[in-house]
Every structure is written in C-alpha cells, then in structure tokens.
C-alpha cells in the first residue's frame, strides 16, 4: 500500500475500511505536499484518527463522480483548490488561460468555473442531508457578500449559493478538527455554530447576542458606499483577539454569521502540521500524463512562516492568513530540508525559504501577542509604526544553518522581500548575506509603482523608500564584489492610477533603461481593499473617492506605456501621451518615449506639390 490516502473504493477497502469519515473533493489534482491545502487538511484529520478519501477533480457533469466512496460517515469537505477557480481559469482581460499548473499535464478545463459552488450543488443532488463543509482560498475570500469581477456584480456569500452547511475560513487546521469532533460526537451540523474561524447560516438571531450587524445584502447591492463601509468592517475584524462576530442579513429570514477568526497556530502546532507523513509527491496515477506542474515550483522550497503584516491593499492575505506571523522552528525546517536532500531528484539547490514575506520571522510587535493587531493603523504603512520590531537575526541564522547542510550547494530566497522593512534595519548583515549567498545575479522586489499617489492607494511605501533601497543594494553589492541587479515588479491600472501616473511610471522605466517583458494589470480578486476601490470608486479606509481605470481601452493604454519601446505599442503610447497633454515626450530628445510618426513617401510628395 502506498502512502497516499485512498482515491478509490478499492483502495479504501484495501485499508480494511468499509466507509470513510470524510470525502475531500478538490478542484486540484491530488498532490500530497504541505504546500497544498488538500494535503494539509486531510493529513491533519488522519492524524486525529479520521478516515479521509480523496476525489480530485471530479467530472462535475456526472453524479457518479462524487459517489466513489459512497456516503461518508461525517461529511464532505469541498475546496476549489489552491487558487480561486476563476483566477485559475481567466486572465485579467477575462481571456481563458491555456494551462492549469494544478492539473496533470497542465491541461486546462478539469474544474468548473466557481468550482466550490458547482461541486456542492452536485453533492446536494445525490446526498440531500449529508453535511458539507467548504474551505480553501475561494471559499475563504467569498465568505460574505463580495464583488465578483468576472460577472461584474455583487454576489452572495458563497454559503448561500453553494448550499454548504459550514465554511471554514483562513488556513483551517484548527477549525476543521473542531468541526470533525463535533460531528463525531453526534451533534447535528446545524447546531455547530460556536467554532471560531467558521461561517454558518442561521434562520434567526435569537441566540446571537454579541454580533456586529452589517448592512443587508439588498442594501449592499443598492448602495456602493454601504458596501465599502461593510467591507472595511470585515477587514478590521480579521484578528483573533479583537475580531467581532459579524452578521450579514439576507431575505427570507436568512442570516450569514461569521464567527471571529481562529487563533494563530503555535510554533509547536506549525511544526507538527508540516511534519505529518506527506509523500511529497503527486499521486502516481498522474505519471503517464506528465505529472502536476505546480509541484515542480515548490518541491524543493521550504515554508518558514505564515501571515503578513505588510498590508498591501491588493493582497488577500489579511483576509485569509491574517496579520499575525506564525513561524516554524529551525529544527522543523532543517528536518524537512534533510528529507528533501535525500530525494533522488534533488540537485543541491533549495529554491526558497519563506512564505508570504520571506524576511518576516516574528510578530510585528510584542503587543500583538496579547492585545491583537491594531484596527486603526497598519504596521508599515503609511510609515513604519514606532513599535515595529525590526530584526533579521533569526532568519539569518536559519539561512546559515541551511546552507551548511551536507548536500546543499545553494539556498535561494525567492519569496518577497519587504524592502521597506529591511530599510528599517540599520545593520547591513542580512542584506550583505542575501546578496552574497541567496540570490544569483538578480533580486526580484515589488515596489509596484513609482507614483506616490498610486502607492498610497496600494498601501505601499513612498517612492523615496525604494530609491534609498536601490542605493543601499548597489552599495552592498559593490562592497561584496558582486555585480547584481534588481528586477522590479510593477503593476498597471491600479485604482488611483490615471494616464499621468502611468506616464510617470514609463518615465521611470526610461531612466532605468529597463522594459519589463511581462506587464501585470491590477486583477480585482475577491476581498481585497483594492478590489473594493475598483467596484465602489471609494477608498474603504477613508471614504474618499478614488479614480479607477475600468475602461478596457484605457487599461491597454496604461499597459502599453510600461512597454513603450515595443513597436506594436507605438499607436497606443502615442494616443496616451496626446490624451494626457504630454506631447513633449514625442520627439528625438533622449527624454522622449517615442519618436514622431514617420510620413510615407507618397504623403511627402503630395505636400511638395
């Protein structure tokens, strides 16, 4: 018997099981690695003695596809996978993607749009009363009414449309065990209303006495200002200590109740979860199809932390993992690295050691541990908090220990480095060792933009901070005898960016002598501050109006300005410059972005006559 959990009735019976406790249905292929939510949740339940069967990427058009194990004893667990199914399927221009890294062979189309809803409705057709628990990033970020970019409208809580009983939001290890124990004790699923980190449906508020009542769904549909206010209330209640219970009313005496977030994992709990008996492989049944591409990206990477106190407006981490840092111990990470080294295809290179932000290894301040995160301000924005604890020593010690392991040639750091946090550290040791040992020729960083007006909406530091970081990076490399470069991630069409700001970014690229090969347009994914701005035209933090480039043509103009040298973009760049009153950038001066349009010979002859 292999180390994977059963994917068929035959494999279930080979284990001597007559029935599974839970059937886990996922939009991803089955990869038993700790970077995949399905693997973590199923292994956590297994460690508690529960029997879990896996149905990966079922055919949603066939009822038989979710009947592989028959009726589970306790319930169905449903997730769209590691990505929102709509982000997985569509580009920001709403064009169908050609590949899916989470499917064998990278084939697209093995999961439906809005996968969580579709899978749950399929289950309900067959198993009318069996409990359904949904989780994963798609469910987590759609747990209350949310703007859906692909349909361009406000959608219900995913609990309403999916017919699921409970939603486990966030990372889910703690809440899923509590749910399992409650069901196992014989408690009816409709009575499981007390678990932090969950959302449920209620027909009355008789037993709910301590909740914040949000505007109703109908009110939110009619009034974007109310939606912005409601969203910010949700955003301000994402901490396990300060977070309140929230209620969103619907028609027909239906209420969606969001319990406060689950507490962060302790370091011991993190270690235990990442040291469960993962095979670290995709299921062998995928071998003939070429395996699962997503595994190759992370197979030789190490997760060091969870959570992020960076607070970027366009990032959903605050809503999903929270702002409190959770870390693994050095010993746990080293044990996983040693396991990795023994794998036959390991070539000596650890591809990454990090998480959402690589150089965060502890809470932003001591206060967060007892009083929770501040609801009225961010840790790094608009400027670093005076209480911010800046210390790279623990991460530096971890990297040193990893690169000393026998069999390791190089340890890369490819997770995001928060340069504004780094700039608060007066000691060059971390930056020096990063440059000397953990990058190869270039470091990718994410200033995202250069216009302070746009950066303010992004929740990013002003351009001056990045400019100072560039100088420091160059100085440290020079002192180390290295010639290495910075590759900036930049974003077009973010709320707050008009043509003037886009031109400011183009001028920066001109002066840098750099043209990005690919350009990332802002993508309005569910439950981010930036998406709220995109939908409402308001900054939910202040209530102020925000300019939002929603017209597809204007977005093309902004994107073209970032690649102004490309001949195919000439007409778009020229149009943008003329519209913005910047004809001074059309000419032969070295500061110009493009040259004047050339006249053909026929036109010149006609003029001479």
Beta-strand (E) ranges in 493-605? 520-521
Residues of the chain with CATH 3.40.50.280: 9-258
**Phi, psi values for residue 294, rounded to 5°:** -60, -30
Give 116's contacts (C-beta < 8 A, 6+ positions apart): 27, 78, 79, 80, 85, 134, 136, 138, 139, 142, 158, 162, 164
- Cα separation, 521 vs 523, whole angstroms: 6
- Cα separation, 396 vs 434, whole angstroms: 9
From 573, 553, 571, select the one nearest 93 (Cα to Cα): 553
Q: Which two tokens stand for residue 499?
A: 């043509």
- Cα separation, 373 vs 236, whole angstroms: 9
Give 171's contacts (C-beta < 8 A, 6+ positions apart): 37, 40, 265, 306, 320, 321
- Are the beta carbons of 300 and 349 closer than 8 angstroms? yes
Predicted confidence at residue 416, as pLDDT, reads 86
Give 556's contacts (C-beta < 8 A, 6+ positions apart): 572
Helix (DSSP H) and strand (DSSP E) numbers for the chain = 24, 22
Sign of dihedral through CA atoms 544, 550, 553, 559? Answer: positive
Chain centre distance of CA 200: 23
Predicted confidence at residue 228, as pLDDT, reads 98
**Phi, psi values for residue 51, rounded to 5°:** -95, 120
Beta-strand (E) ranges in 231-329? 245-250, 254-258, 281-282, 301-303, 305-306, 326-327
Q: Which two tokens stand for residue 222?
A: 């009619």
Predicted confidence at residue 376, as pLDDT, reads 81
Q: Which two tokens stand for residue 456?
A: 């303010």
DSSP 257: E
Q: Report the predicted TM-score, pTM, of the whole model to 2 decimal places.
A: 0.95
H or E segment at 464? helix 463-479
- Cα separation, 119 vs 241, whole angstroms: 34
Which of 3.30.450.40, 3.40.50.2000, 3.40.50.280, 3.30.70.270 would CATH assign to domain 9-258? 3.40.50.280
From 165, 65, 495, select the one nearest 312 (Cα to Cα): 495
- Cα separation, 52 vs 484, whole angstroms: 49
- Are the beta carbons of 307 and 356 closer than 8 angstroms? yes
Predicted confidence at residue 2, as pLDDT, reads 58
Give 211's contacts (C-beta < 8 A, 6+ positions apart): 205, 244, 245, 246, 247, 257
Give 421's contacts (C-beta < 8 A, 6+ positions apart): 310, 357, 359, 360, 380, 384, 388, 390
List, for residues 445-456, the tens digit of each pLDDT value. Answer: 999 999 999 999
Q: How many CB atoms lie within 10 A of CB 41?
A: 26
From 527, 548, 546, 550, select the one nearest 227 (Cα to Cα): 527
- Are the beta carbons of 412 and 354 closer than 8 angstroms? no
Length of the chain: 609
Residue found by looking up tokens 């950066």 in the block: 455
Predicted confidence at residue 600, as pLDDT, reads 53
Gyration radius of the chain's alpha carbons: 26
Helices 499-512 and 552-562 cross at an angle (nearest 10°) of 20
- Are the beta carbons of 145 and 228 closer than 8 angstroms? no
From 162, 171, 123, 103, select the one nearest 22 (Cα to Cα): 123
Mean pLDDT by 10 residues, the chain (609 residues): 88 96 98 97 98 98 97 98 97 96 97 98 97 98 98 98 97 97 98 98 92 97 98 96 96 93 97 97 96 95 95 92 95 98 96 95 94 91 94 97 97 94 97 96 94 97 97 96 93 97 97 87 97 98 97 96 95 97 96 84 46
Burial of 462 (0-12, 13-18, 19+ CB in 10 A): middle
- Are the beta carbons of 40 and 136 closer than 8 angstroms? no
H or E segment at 578? helix 570-579
Sign of dihedral through CA atoms 531, 532, 537, 540? Answer: negative
């Amino acid at each position: 018997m292999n180390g994977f959990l059963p994917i068929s009735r035959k494999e279930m019976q080979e284990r001597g099981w007559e029935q599974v406790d839970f059937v886990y249905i996922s939009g991803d292929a089955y990869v038993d690695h700790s970077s995949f939510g399905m693997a973590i949740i199923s292994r956590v339940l297994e460690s508690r003695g529960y029997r879990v069967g896996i149905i990966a990427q079922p055919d949603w058009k066939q009822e038989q596809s979710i009947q592989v194990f028959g009726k589970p004893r306790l319930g169905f667990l449903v997730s769209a996978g590691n990505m929102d199914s709509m982000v997985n399927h569509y580009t920001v221009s709403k064009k169908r993607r050609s590949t899916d890294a989470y499917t064998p062979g990278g084939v697209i189309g093995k999961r439906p749009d809005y996968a969580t809803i579709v899978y749950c409705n399929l289950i309900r057709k067959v198993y009318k009363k069996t409990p359904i628990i949904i989780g994963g990033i798609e469910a987590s970020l759609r747990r209350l009414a949310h703007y859906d970019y692909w349909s361009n409208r406000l959608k219900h809580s995913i609990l309403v449309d999916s017919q699921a009983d409970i939603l486990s939001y966030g990372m889910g290890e703690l809440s899923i065990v509590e749910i399992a124990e409650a069901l196992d004790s014989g408690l009816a699923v409709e009575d499981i209303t007390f678990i932090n980190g969950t959302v449920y449906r209620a027909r009355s508020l008789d037993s709910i006495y301590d909740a914040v009542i949000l505007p109703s769904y109908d009110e939110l549909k009619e009034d974007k200002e109310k939606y912005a206010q409601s969203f910010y209330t949700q955003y301000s209640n994402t901490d396990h200590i300060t977070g309140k219970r929230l209620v969103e009313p619907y028609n027909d005496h239906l209420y969606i109740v969001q319990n406060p977030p689950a507490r962060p994992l302790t370091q011991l709990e993190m270690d235990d979860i990442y040291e469960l008996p993962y095979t670290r492989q995709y299921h062998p049944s995928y071998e003939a199809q070429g395996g699962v591409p997503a595994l190759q990206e992370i197979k030789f990477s190490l997760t060091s932390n969870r959570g992020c106190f960076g607070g970027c407006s366009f990032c959903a981490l605050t809503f999903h993992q929270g702002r409190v840092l959770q870390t693994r111990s050095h010993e746990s990470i080293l044990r996983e690295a040693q396991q990795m080294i023994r794998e036959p295809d390991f070539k000596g290179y650890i591809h990454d050691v990090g998480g959402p932000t690589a150089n965060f290894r502890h809470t932003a301040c001591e206060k967060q541990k007892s009083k929770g995160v501040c609801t009225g301000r961010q840790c790094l924005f608009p400027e670093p908090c005076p209480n911010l604890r800046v210390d790279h020593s623990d991460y530096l010690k971890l990297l040193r220990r990893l690169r000393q392991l026998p069999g390791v040639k190089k340890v890369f750091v490819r997770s995001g480095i928060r340069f504004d946090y780094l700039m608060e550290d007066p000691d060059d040791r971390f930056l020096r060792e990063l440059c000397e040992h953990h990058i190869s020729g270039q470091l990718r960083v994410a200033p995202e933009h250069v216009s302070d007006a746009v950066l303010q909406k992004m929740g990013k530091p002003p351009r001056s901070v990045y400019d100072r970081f560039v100088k420091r990076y160059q100085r440290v490399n020079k002192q180390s005898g290295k010639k290495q470069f910075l590759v900036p991630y930049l974003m077009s069409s973010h709320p707050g960016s008009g043509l003037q700001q886009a031109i400011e970014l183009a001028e920066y690229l001109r002066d840098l002598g750099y043209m990005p090969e690919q350009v990332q347009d802002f993508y309005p994914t569910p439950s981010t501050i930036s998406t709220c701005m995109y939908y409402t035209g308001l900054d939910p933090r202040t209530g102020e109006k925000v300019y939002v480039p929603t017209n597809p043509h204007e977005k093309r103009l902004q994107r073209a300005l970032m690649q102004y040298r490309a001949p195919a973009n000439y007409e778009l760049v020229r149009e943008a410059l003329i519209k913005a009153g910047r004809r001074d950038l059309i000419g032969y001066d070295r500061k110009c972005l493009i040259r004047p349009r050339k006249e053909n010979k026929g036109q010149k002859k006609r003029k001479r006559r």
